[in-house]
Amino acid sequence: MKKTIMLVAALLFLCACGNKQGKTDSKVIGKPEVTVQDGRFTPEVMWALGKMGDKAVSPDGTQIAYTVTYYDMEQNKGNADIYVMTSEGKNVARITSTEASEFNIVWKDDETLMFCRENEIVEMKVKDGREKVLATVERGVEGFKLAPDGKSVVFITTKPVVRPGHIDKLYAGLDKTTGRINEDLMYRHWDNWVDEYPQIFLAEFGDKIDVENAVCLIDSTFECPMRPWGGVEQFNYSPDSRKISYTCRKKTGADYAHSTNSDIFLYDIETKTTRNLSEGIMGYDQNPVFSHDGKSIAWESMERDGYESDKLRLMVMNLETGNRTDMSENFDYNFVGINWSDDDKEILGVVYYRGTDQVFACNAETKEFRQVTYGYHDIHSFELSGGKIYADQVSMQYPSEIYVYNCADNKAEGRRISSINDDLLSKVRMGKVEEHWIKTVDGKEMLTWLIYPYNYDSTKTYPALLYCEGGPQSEVGQFWSTRWNFMVMSGAEYFIIAPNRRGTIGFGTEWCEAISGDYGGLCMQDYMTAADYFASNVKQIDKERLGACGASFGGYSVYWLAGHNHGVSGYDGGRRFKALLAHNGMFNFEQQYLETEELWFDNWDLGGPYWDWNNPQVKKSYACSPHLYVDKWNTPICVIHSEFDFRIVASQGMAAYNAAKMVGLDARYLYFPDETHWVLKPQNSLLWHRNFIDWFDTHLK
């Protein structure tokens, strides 16, 4: 403990001196200034908050390092720096101050951090800030892991896609051409053209990391980690540092576009051999984690090929016998973010559970699950140290902070130990959040969140917005976002109605799978039921000032509701909604099927290609395409779409907007030529939010 106190004192001195011993830049983005008026949480206030990123607990459990990103609107970008505090949340010190962001924090020992910065892996002595570049990776480094014995590193970098010879010769002498020639599928993915692919490399680590002689562990042009979500969680060392387990989908082109069949592979460093641990399991297998004794390995596993939203099972293999066990065969929820307890008697993970994300523990012998954490929050990830859980936790009312729990807890509410945004959040008022369970048209119970206006007065009435979730197999949990932020909507003086309609996760397999092949069915009835319920039962909601909004599948939902917003009993003019906003939504299913890249998605959820008219599911699915109901549109609509969304391409939004104008509606089109499925650039996000509020204020106030 004495060593820790001295170290923290040194950190505070280092921070006060501007980190002169470490790398410091004059153009570093720091905490911005923002004015809060009347306690209102605005988009500008939201973007002034610090965003917690990576976190890591020191080997002795006494310190936590984490990154915080602040954003500068003038520069239109953010920057992440590293902070360190005690594991009790005391003596916070900023230990980097550079123009480039730091990420992927790893403790080498109790006094030394390793991390990435641009294309470098850097080592820092935390006590005095002295830095040493351990490796420079020519094509950039996306992350790394340090072997338990400290003698090697596995890092992620990319390889370029090489054009086949018969195509490459066509480019001879054309160094300025921008043309692309493709002869296979998956030439673009989510938000990037596939010009490179990630792979993992094993390098010895002595005084420095031997990048020059690093060995690639993947035997062809396959991705590891898998795009677009995978990172360092997709591979791990064994406790004895002699083996590496990793995730890979050994498919390319059309095979990749049609399949979700990834596997868990085990690489033996000494023999340089690889074996497939999940052979015969046809869905996603990912994120392997060794037990502390090295005898077992656990991973997240889906059963069915082509179904990206299948239940994520907890799969465990005994490495001595080769036996595989589905630990969650009697547990009807997803299990992710695997961690073994110190004694290997339990396996802990995050479970999407009834509108929240909680830590659960599975008994490694009995396969019984127990709930460790409880409350209105979402836990994104967590780390175990000394019998404690250090969790990255958010809710609809606060951004990421670090909370601590005990591993032995049962349905416990955690203790917050970080305070990244307390000073700013103390100046704002957040809207109250209520949990409601309402009856659906078929008599089931549906969780719907009701968020109040920040300045709620029970003697007044307010407009309300129905929030339509994307996914479609995702969750309306206690999330915090810089796009769909319920507190910004609350700060704009709206009620928000947020149903966990059919298809959301966290309510069992049956509820989730009810949406596939039925996009225009019960899930849409769920939305209308929720809107009607609150419009009728909350007297402070003005039922003649209802709007609806959503993105992706939520954007599709808005387009579908636009075509079914007539003849509704109990509303003026027969219109339930008086204004609509759709972001990056599917408008024309036939168009969507031929434009998207991950064909397995539409093959599963729509039943296949639209020309397969002998397939009853295809007939039913494509009959729900919103473009078929434009003649029924009668409500002002704002359409938003982005050019680099390769999941649902920009022509979908343009077609929807053009259709609205052609039938004579008041319509607006917000187009981003440089954004993806999300809006990530700070100034673009501010425009998005200002447009959002202005559109609904214009039509509902």
Task: Give residue-wise pLDDT tens across range 345-385.
Answer: 999 999 999 999 999 999 999 999 999 999 999 999 999 99
Task: Give residue-wise pLDDT tens across range 564-580.
Answer: 999 999 999 999 999 99
Domain boundary residue, one of 77, 103, 135: 135
Percentage, residues of the chain above pLDDT 90:
95
What local confidence, expressed as pLDDT, does residue 26 receive?
54
Report CA 2 to chain centroid distance, whole Å: 40
Task: Give residue-wise pLDDT tens across range 636-647.
Answer: 999 999 999 999
Q: Where are the alpha helices (H) located in 442-518, listed in sequence order?
A: 486-491, 509-513
Of 381, 340, 346, 292, nearest in space to 105 by CA: 381
Determine whether 677 is an active site residue. Answer: yes
Determine whether 189 is an active site residue. Answer: no
What local confidence, expressed as pLDDT, does residue 353 receive?
98
pLDDT over 80 (residue 3): no
Domain boundary residue, one of 111, 135, 159: 135
CATH number, domain at 547?
3.40.50.1820
**Residue 398 covered by a domain:** no
pLDDT over 80 (residue 13): no
pLDDT over 70 (residue 11): no
pLDDT over 60 (residue 428): yes
**Residue 219 covered by a domain:** no
What's the Cα-to-Cα distance from 426 to each of 398, 415, 429, 454, 480, rounded to whole Å?
Answer: 11, 18, 8, 14, 17
**Residue 380 covered by a domain:** no
Mean pLDDT value of segment 205-209: 97
Task: Give residue-wise pLDDT tens across range 38-73.
Answer: 999 999 999 999 999 999 999 999 999 999 999 999
How does residue 219 score in pLDDT terms, banded at 50, 70 and 90? confident
Beta-carbon count within 10 A of 612 CB:
12
Q: What is the pTM of this model?
A: 0.95
**Residue 260 covered by a domain:** no
pLDDT over 50 (residue 497): yes
Of 437, 564, 452, nearest in space to 497 by CA: 452
Determine whether 612 is an active site residue. Answer: no
CATH number, domain at 117?
2.40.128
**Residue 612 covered by a domain:** yes
How many folded domains does the chain comprise?
2
Catalytic residue among 301, 557, 645, 685: 645
Q: Are 274 and 266 in contact (CB under 8 A)?
A: yes
With a CB cutoff of 8 Å and minimum separation 6, the contacts of 27 are: 99
The answer to whether the Cα torsion of 499, 504, 507, 509 is positive or negative is positive
Distance CA(100)–CA(201), nearest Å, equals 24
Domain range holding 126? Answer: 1-135
**Residue 418 covered by a domain:** no
Of 533, 655, 529, nearest in space to 590 by CA: 655
pLDDT over 90 (residue 14): no
Mean pLDDT value of segment 254-260: 97
How does residue 7 score in pLDDT terms, banded at 50, 70 and 90? very low
Catalytic residue among 296, 400, 552, 685: 552
Catalytic residue among 641, 677, 689, 699: 677
Task: Give residue-wise pLDDT tens across range 463-478.
Answer: 999 999 999 999 999 9
How does residue 27 score in pLDDT terms, banded at 50, 70 and 90? confident
pLDDT over 90 (residue 454): yes
Task: Give residue-wise pLDDT tens across range 501-555.
Answer: 999 999 999 999 999 999 999 999 999 999 999 999 999 999 999 999 999 999 9
**Residue 166 covered by a domain:** no
37 φψ region: left (φ > 0), alpha (ψ -120 to 50), beta (else): beta
With a CB cutoff of 8 Å and minimum separation 6, the contacts of 456 are: 431, 432, 462, 540
Domain boundary residue, one of 120, 135, 150: 135
pLDDT over 60 (residue 23): no
Q: How high does pLDDT run on average in the chain?
A: 95
Percentage, residues of the chain above pLDDT 70:
96
